[in-house]
Structure 1
Amino acid sequence: MTINTPLATDDQTVAAQALQGSLTDLLDLSLNAKQAHWTVVGPLFRSLHQELDELASLSRDFADRLAERSAAIGRAPDGRPGTITATSGLSALPAGWIKDSDVRGLMTTSMAVLISRMRQRVEDTSTADPVTQDLLINLTGELERQHWMLQAQSSY
């Protein structure tokens, strides 16, 4: 099957690569956020529990937008578990219960890595596909807001 797009083949490739990389990173972030949501323990349990749920939801919502953008430009998105495991740039969480301060640190670090990767993708798509770039800019802004909120809990 072929989905037609106004993008030149090279621009389509650049945009599709940025979208696919962002998709796998976001799906991984949503899974890690949910895992941490279920296993966080400590005095900050309630606030982190809620914040991690919001982060998982945000990640899934944006992952859906990214996958649909990829399809719209004629490239099939790949969100299969094996693809996420093989290509995500995020670190895995440890098994078992995770202390609230450790969850904050792990998630803050993961988000910093993801934001850096997203900013590169924003730059990569600047001339190839401004529509994809706009989506990535909006996502990066939301990730930076969530990153700030996680950091603010421990920066007093």
Structure 2
Amino acid sequence: MATVKSPLNDEARKITAEALQGALIDLIDLSLFAKQAHWNLNGRNFKIVHEHLDEVVELARTYTDEVAERAIALGINPDGRVRTVADRTRIPQLEPGYVADDKVVAAVTDVLAQMIERFRERVRATDEPDPVTQDLLIQATRELEKQHWMFQAQV
């Protein structure tokens, strides 16, 4: 089977691969986290939070695909398998069952803040080795920060 030859040298490819794989895991689990909250949400602000969670899911799924396709373009195989995500996620999980809207808002706010910190680290790490990947990570970070602001405003 043919492989994609990377335009990056080995060291740049290694740094970029690490950044993209970490972002991929964060984004896949964010979509799962937000859907879990979406399905089990209850409370006075149900409708608005329920719909807002779908925006987070859409954002996560869009950038999941962008990140994975960027990896492939660089000859890096993305790993979005369930076991990989479960083993490597850094996103704290919600409690099972119904979750009150205020707890969901606080949890999503915290998760987004943690992810933004990791994405900003990845932005810094890819500055020299791959500015194109850095640009993608900056775009994703901008959208995560926007969602963080919107959820934080509800706390």
Which one-letter code corresponds to 1:19 in the other structure?
L
* Residue matched to 2:36: 35
* Residue matched to 2:59: 58
Query: Does 1:104 find its partner at 2:127?
Result: no
Q: Deviations over 1:3-32 (max 9, x none)?
A: 112111110111111000000011000000
* Residue matched to 1:83: 84
Within 5 Å, give how 1:3-152 maps onto structure 2: 3-152=4-153
Q: Deviations over 1:88-107 (max 9, x none)?
A: 11111110000000001111
Which one-letter code corresponds to 2:14 in the other structure?
T
1:2 Cα shift?
2.2
* Deviation >3 Å, runs of 4+: none
Classify the secondary structure of the residue corresponding to 1:144.
helix
Query: How far apart, CA to CA, are the structure 2 residues paired with 1:74 and 1:6?
Result: 8
1:143 Cα shift?
0.1
Q: Deviations over 1:26-77 (max 9, x none)?
A: 1000000001011110011000000001100110110000000000100110
Gaps in structure 2 of 5+ consecutive residues: none
Classify the secondary structure of the residue corresponding to 1:150.
helix
Query: How far apart, CA to CA, are the structure 2 residues paired with 1:65 and 1:117?
Result: 17
Gaps in structure 1 of 5+ consecutive residues: none
Query: How far apart, CA to CA, are the structure 1 residues paired with 2:104 and 2:78?
Result: 30
Identical positions, percent: 47
1:153 Cα shift?
1.4
Which one-letter code corresponds to 1:7 in the other structure?
L
Classify the secondary structure of the residue corresponding to 1:82.
helix
Query: How far apart, CA to CA, are the structure 1 residues paired with 2:48 and 2:26?
Result: 24
Which one-letter code corresponds to 2:100 in the other structure?
K
Equivalenced residue count is: 154
TM-score (ref. length: structure 1): 0.97
Q: Deviations over 1:90-147 (max 9, x none)?
A: 1111100000000011111111110000000000000010000000000000000000
Q: Cα RMSD over matched residues?
A: 0.7
